[in-house]
Structure formats: C-alpha cells, structure tokens
Amino acid sequence: MTQKQPGFDAFFTAITTSPEFKSAMTKDWKWDSLDALEASLRQMESWVEKAADIMKNFDEKFNTHLPPTWATPGATPPKTGNPQDESKTPPAVEVQHFVRKEWKPWGFEAVAGMDELKAELQDSFIKPLRFKFLVEKLKKQSHPELDSGSSVNKESEKAKEDNEINSVWQKNNELILRLYTEYEKFKISIPTGMLFYWPPGTGKTFITKKLAEELGCGFISKNMGEFGSSYLHQTTKNIKDFFEWAKKAAENEPIILFLDEIDSLVSKRTTNVDANKAEEVSQFLQEFNALESAPNLIVIAATNRPDHLDSAILRSWRLDKKIYLGPPDTVARRELFKMYIEKAGRPSESLDYEELAKLTEWYVSADIEAICDEVARDASRDLLELIDEAESGTLTEKHLDGHVITMDDVKQTIIDMPSSLKMVDMSIYDNWLEQVQ
Ligand SMILES: Nc1ncnc2c1ncn2[C@@H]1O[C@H](COP(=O)(O)OP(=O)(O)OP(=O)(O)O)[C@@H](O)[C@H]1O
Ligand SMILES: [Mg+2]
C-alpha cells in the first residue's frame, strides 16, 4: 500500500476546493438540444484538460503515477491513464498524442504566418519523415511473417479478384520502394535537433505541437527547470532517467521531444558556480549528444533567453538548426486577427483586418489572441445582461440583435492591451547567433 506523502493534504484541499472542481460537481448538465449538448461537451472537455494538467502537476510533484495516493481508505480513486502502467517505473512525463477535433483547425492550418518556417519544416522533416515511415511500413508488409494480420483466405470466392488488386498494390509498392532508393542516393540526412530562440508569446511551443499534429507522431514536452532537485546528484539522475525513458518511448514510434526553457538548465557557466550544476550540464550534453542512437526522436529545444546559453556549450551541442523568428509581420498579424475572430466563428461586423494589423506592430501572436478573447468577452457581456429577462420570460426577438464584435471594440481593446514585448529587452536577440558562432 502506498503511503501518503508530505504535502498531499494541502494539494488535495487545493483541488477539491477549487472553483472548477466545485462547479463540475454541481453543474446541471444540459443536452436537450444540439447546441446545449455541444456547449456541455466543450465545458467538460475544458475541465478534463484542466484535470489532466492538475494530475500532471501531481505526478511531477509527488514523483508518482496513477493510481495515486488519493485517498482516504475506501474512497474510489479517479481512474485515468493506463492501469497496466502501475507496475512499471513511473515516467517523468507522458507521450502525448493529439486528437483531431472537428471544430478546431489541425496542424499547420492553425498556424498564422510563419510561412518560411512552415516550408522549412515541411522540407526538412515532414516530407522526408512521412516518406521514411511509409517505406518502413511497406517493408514490414512485404514480409508477411512480420505482419500477423496479413493472412489471406485463399479459399474464398473473391480470392482471384483480391489477387488482381493485390498485384496492382504490389506494383505500386515496388515503385515507392524504388523511388525511395533513388532519394536515398542523395544522402540527405534528416535533422535531428533544432533550437528555437525567439521572444516569448510568439509560438515556439505552439508551432512544435502543430508539427507533431502534422506528422501524426507522439509529443513529449519537458520544461528544463523541472529537472531540478535539492538532493545531491538527484538532478543528474533525473536527466539520465528522462532521456533513457524518452529513447525507449521512441523505439515504437516517431516522437518530437520538446525541451522548453532550455536556458534554465544549460546556462552560462559564469552563473554556474557550483560543481553540481557543472555535473548536470555535462550530463545533459552527454545524453543529448547520445540521441544519435535514437533516429525516431526529433528534438526541439526552445528558449526566449538565448543570451543565457553558454556559447561553448552551444558549439558542442548537436543541434542542426538554430532558428530565430521575430514578432509576426503585418501579413501574419492580419491572419491572426482573422483566425481568432472570423475563423473562430465569433460574430463580428465586417472588420478591416488590414488596419488592425497596422495598429499592432510589435504585438506577438499571444497578444493578438488575448485581444480577440477580450473583445469577444466584452461583446458577449450584453447577452449575459439579459439573464433577468430570460428568467422573467420577457425576452423578445429584438434582444437577439446586434451582438457582434465591432471595429471600434477591437481598436479600443488594442489601446487597452499594449504589446507584451514592451517588457522584453529585444536587444538580446540582435545578432545573437553571429556572436556565439
Ligand atoms: N503562428 C501562430 N498562429 C496562431 N496562434 C499562435 C501563433 N503563435 C502563437 N499563437 C498563439 O499564442 C499562444 C502563445 O504561444 P506560445 O506559448 O507557443 O509562445 P512561446 O513562444 O512558446 O512563448 P514562451 O516563450 O512564453 O513559452 C499559443 O498558445 C497560440 O494560441
Ligand atoms: Mg513556450
């Protein structure tokens, strides 16, 4: 039986007294119309996502894995995850698999701007990897002993017809394999590591997740600050265990390994005065550079403080590409406004997106998303004000009119919400790469 760990009670109380938890417990769900059903499901979905975040936090904080130490005796623990994992060593993080949802744009469709980067990722990763995985699949299929599902019932009436179809497929597959052999002759290697070092709120995490969606591969995200432990040598062990686990996970499928806030671990030695830190950094580099033996792992490291990275470390670091993107340009900003208002299906009058883009020079993607959220919240407030009429049965058709986002609303919100880059010293990005190379 697992023991209750210190700090558990406070954690438990924080969850069970949170507004989301209380609200979920008392909510009067409605599904008497399609709209009500959709609204209820969306609400549940957002809470499930929140619960997943809390559980992730729980696992990391208590170094445990579900089913956790919830629990007053006799209480039924909430079940998530795979019960078969119980006996295994608890992983530090999970491999996520993104699931397509009808109402949300998928993959690069959801990414405004960043055209050059998207094209680069298409050419460097997406196309070569899709090709590679297709060929691996075909090779496996051409060895039926490796594929238990391929036994053909020769006795069936349709066998002859099937054979004809099969031979067309086989011919097609042979051509694909030959095409790949031709491609391989060019000896193009797929990059295995990239560093994104652009300012906060400009989509480093976002584009990486969208790349995972495009590739349909697994996604592991690890914030480098989370390796830290106050126990001597424990951080070094955490790093070692983590990479070992990630490599193992990538034996079965391609995985994007996203190492966020890389500066918090691999930082300037001038600030790493203690030997422990040097040991951690060295362990990290050793593990990182050993990832050559895991061809299915695509590593993307991110930082918005490149100036905190040690240049010597950067040179010894196996990162094929170092990529900088500035804040979104006018075209990208126009697309962002369109994406978060029009494409999101928010009711609006006809907006001059060109002008909105011009008004938001130096705003980052996250700022524009936040402006659109805020303006939508403001515009919808009038609807909520109608609750008295709704309850007293005095609603009329007229009440339904005119609830749209207007150009003036957006312009005012832009004035109220200045660019978050105001707080950022942009000079740290100027020519950083040239300086460290
Ligand atoms: N190109 C984009 N198209 C559409 N939305 C975007 C784009 N870039 C960013 N966003 C939105 O902005 C939000 C913030 O972006 P994200 O968290 O990826 O920034 P970041 O660069 O990782 O910031 P930080 O350095 O603070 O971690 C995303 O959740 C996403 O909704
Ligand atoms: Mg981020």
Whether residue 334 is found in the same domain as residue 247:
no
118 φ/ψ angles, rounded to the nearest 5 degrees: -60, -40
Q: Of 297, 326, 355, which residue sits at a domain end? A: 326
Question: Are the C-beta atoms of residues 277 and 235 closer than 8 Å to each other?
Answer: no
Strands across the sheet with 218-223, in order?
A: 218-223, 255-260, 297-302, 193-196, 321-323
**Which structure tokens are listed for 323?**
């990529």
Whether residue 167 is found in the same domain as residue 244:
yes
Return the C-alpha torsion angle 337, 338, 342, 343, nearest 10. Answer: -120
Query: CA-CA distance, 238 to 230, in Å (whole number)?
Result: 12
Whether 202 lines ligand 1, by a CB cut-off of 6 Å, is yes
Whether 285 lines ligand 1, by a CB cut-off of 6 Å, is no
Q: 360-393 pLDDT, tens per residue?
A: 999 999 999 999 999 999 999 988 888 888 888 8
CA angle 191-194-198, nearest 5°? 150
Per-residue pLDDT for the chain (437 aa), expressed as one digit of tens each?
344 555 566 666 666 776 666 676 766 766 777 777 777 777 776 666 666 666 666 655 654 433 322 222 333 333 334 434 333 444 557 899 999 988 788 999 999 999 999 999 999 889 998 888 888 888 877 655 444 444 445 556 677 777 777 788 888 888 999 999 999 999 988 887 899 999 999 999 999 999 999 999 999 999 988 877 666 678 888 889 999 999 999 988 889 999 999 988 776 654 545 677 778 888 888 888 888 778 888 999 999 999 888 777 777 777 778 899 989 999 999 999 999 999 999 999 999 999 999 999 999 999 999 999 999 999 999 888 888 888 888 888 888 888 999 999 999 999 999 999 988 888 888 888 777 76
What is the SS3 string spanning 268-287?
CCCCCCCHHHHHHHHHHHHH
pLDDT in the model for residue 45? 67
Whether 436 lines ligand 1, by a CB cut-off of 6 Å, is no
Query: CA-CA distance, 42 to 29, in Å (whole number)?
Result: 11
Which residue among 109, 365, 420, 426 has the greatest number of ligand 1 atoms within 8 angstroms of its CB, and so is best to mutate? 365
Question: Are the C-beta atoms of residues 90 and 59 closer than 8 Å to each other?
Answer: yes
Q: Which residues lie below 8 Å from residue 111, measured CB to CB, with a gap of 6+?
A: 118, 203, 206, 207, 210
Question: Are the C-beta atoms of residues 13 and 21 closer than 8 Å to each other?
Answer: no
Of the chain, the percentage scoring pLDDT greater than 90 comes to: 37
Q: In a 3-state reduction of DSSP, which class is residue 222? A: strand
Report the nearest atom of ligand 1 relative to the CA of 332: 1
Q: Which ligand is nearest to the CA of 366?
A: 1
Whether residue 282 is found in the same domain as residue 134:
yes
Q: What is the CATH number of the domain that holds 262?
A: 3.40.50.300
Whether 199 lines ligand 1, by a CB cut-off of 6 Å, is no
Whether residue 378 is found in the same domain as residue 354:
yes
Q: In a 3-state reduction of DSSP, which class is residue 20? A: helix
92 φ/ψ angles, rounded to the nearest 5 degrees: -70, -35
Range of the domain at 412: 330-388+400-429
**Which structure tokens are listed for 278?**
């040097």
Query: CA-CA distance, 141 to 150, in Å (whole number)?
Result: 8
Q: How far is the CA of 363 from the centre of ligand 2 (A)?
A: 16
Report the nearest atom of ligand 1 relative to the CA of 304: 25
pLDDT in the model for residue 225? 82
Whether 206 lines ligand 1, by a CB cut-off of 6 Å, is yes
pLDDT in the model for residue 84? 40
The β-bridge partners of 300 are: 194, 258
Whether 366 lines ligand 1, by a CB cut-off of 6 Å, is yes
97 falls within a domain? no
The secondary structure of the chain in percent helix, strand, coil, rounded to multiples of 5, reads 55, 5, 35
Whether residue 217 is found in the same domain as residue 335:
no
Alpha-carbon distance values, 106 to 50, 109, 113, 214, 215 (Å): 21, 6, 15, 8, 11
Q: How far is the CA of 408 from the centre of ligand 1 (A)?
A: 26
Q: How far is the CA of 305 from the centre of ligand 2 (A)?
A: 12
Q: How far is the CA of 365 from the centre of ligand 1 (A)?
A: 6
Q: How far is the CA of 155 from the centre of ligand 1 (A)?
A: 57
Q: How far is the CA of 426 from the centre of ligand 2 (A)?
A: 17
For ligand 2, a single-atom ion, the residues with CB < 5 A are: 204-205
pLDDT in the model for residue 70? 26
Tokens 């909105």 -> residue: 356
87 falls within a domain? no
pLDDT in the model for residue 106? 93
Q: Pairing state of beta strands 321-323 and 255-260?
A: unpaired
Which residue among 104, 197, 202 has the greatest number of ligand 1 atoms within 8 angstroms of its CB, and so is best to mutate? 202
Whether residue 273 is found in the same domain as residue 362:
no
Whether residue 317 is found in the same domain as residue 230:
yes
Which residue among 336, 369, 420, 424 has the greatest number of ligand 1 atoms within 8 angstroms of its CB, and so is best to mutate? 369
Report the nearest atom of ligand 1 relative to the CA of 196: 21
First to last CA, the chain: 54
Q: Which residues lie below 8 Å from residue 361, measured CB to CB, with a gap of 6+?
A: 330
Nearest CA to ligand 1 atom 9: 203
**Which structure tokens are listed for 282?**
């060295």
Q: 425-435 pLDDT, tens per residue?
A: 888 888 887 77
Report the nearest atom of ligand 1 relative to the CA of 328: 1
Report the nearest atom of ligand 1 relative to the CA of 208: 18
Nearest in space to 306 (alpha carbons), one of 268, 272, 277: 268
Q: Which residues lie below 8 Å from residue 289, measured CB to CB, with a gap of 6+?
A: 316, 317, 318
Q: Which residues lie below 8 Å from residue 295, measured CB to CB, with a gap of 6+?
A: 190, 192
Query: CA-CA distance, 437 to 434, in Å (whole number)?
Result: 5
23 falls within a domain? yes
142 falls within a domain? yes
Whether residue 259 is found in the same domain as residue 275:
yes
Question: Are the C-beta atoms of residues 383 and 327 closer than 8 Å to each other?
Answer: no
Whether 294 lines ligand 1, by a CB cut-off of 6 Å, is no
Query: CA-CA distance, 319 to 284, in Å (whole number)?
Result: 13
Whether residue 312 is found in the same domain as residue 408:
no
Whether residue 236 is found in the same domain as residue 359:
no
The β-bridge partners of 195 are: 301, 322
User: What's the domain count of the chain?
Assistant: 3
Q: Which ligand is nearest to the CA of 208?
A: 1
For the chain, how many residues are written? Answer: 437
Q: How far is the CA of 67 from the centre of ligand 1 (A)?
A: 33
- To the nearest 10 degrees (0 to 180), the angle between helices 127-141 and 159-184 is 140
Whether residue 271 is found in the same domain as residue 181:
yes
Report the nearest atom of ligand 1 relative to the CA of 207: 18
Q: Which residues lie below 8 Å from residue 188, measured CB to CB, with a gap of 6+?
A: 128
Whether 203 lines ligand 1, by a CB cut-off of 6 Å, is yes
Which residue among 53, 196, 206, 338 has the greatest number of ligand 1 atoms within 8 angstroms of its CB, and so is best to mutate? 206
pTM, two decimals, is 0.73
Whether 190 lines ligand 1, by a CB cut-off of 6 Å, is no
Q: What is the CATH number of the domain that holds 414?
A: 1.10.8.60
